[in-house]
Amino acid sequence: MSWPGPANADEVTVPDIVGLTVTRARAVAWEAGLVVTTDDPDGPPVRALTWQGVWVVTAQHPAPGSRMRRRGSLVIFFEKPPGGDPGHE
């Protein structure tokens, strides 16, 4: 499901991004050395799916605290929160 990253890359710890907005989750993952993606490798990128409105991460793979290679893909699942402001992130 997740892409582990280049074989010669150092390992990083997966951050806990569940509950964050997708925009913030992407920033936190990037700071940790990971790239946020969806579970559909052939589908549109996360940014294309979430550009309009506020979206919140509801689950992630691998789990927080796991180790994976830098530049690996951290798969997220997300939804619009009830009552969220659709125009601001």
CATH of the domain at 53: 3.30.10.20
| Domain-located, residue 34 | yes
CB within 8 A of 53, min separation 6: which ones?
A: 80, 84, 85, 86, 87, 89
Whole-number pLDDT of residue 85: 56
| Domain-located, residue 59 | yes
pLDDT band at 89 (very low <50, low <70, confident <90, very high): very low
- The CA-atom distances, in angstroms, between 32 and each of 20, 38, 44, 69 are 15, 18, 23, 10
First-last CA distance in the chain? 27
Give the pairing of strands 67-69 and 11-13.
antiparallel
34-88: pLDDT as tens digits: 999 998 878 888 888 887 889 999 999 999 999 999 999 999 999 998 876 554 4
Structural domain range at position 62: 11-79
Whole-number pLDDT of residue 88: 47
| Domain-located, residue 60 | yes
| Domain-located, residue 5 | no
* Residues facing 73 on adjacent strands: 35
Global model pTM greater than 0.95: no
| Domain-located, residue 44 | yes
Q: Which residue has the higher pLDDT, 89 or 46?
A: 46
Please state the domain count of the chain. 1
Whole-number pLDDT of residue 34: 96
| Domain-located, residue 67 | yes
CA distance 5 to 73: 7
Element (H, E) at 4: none
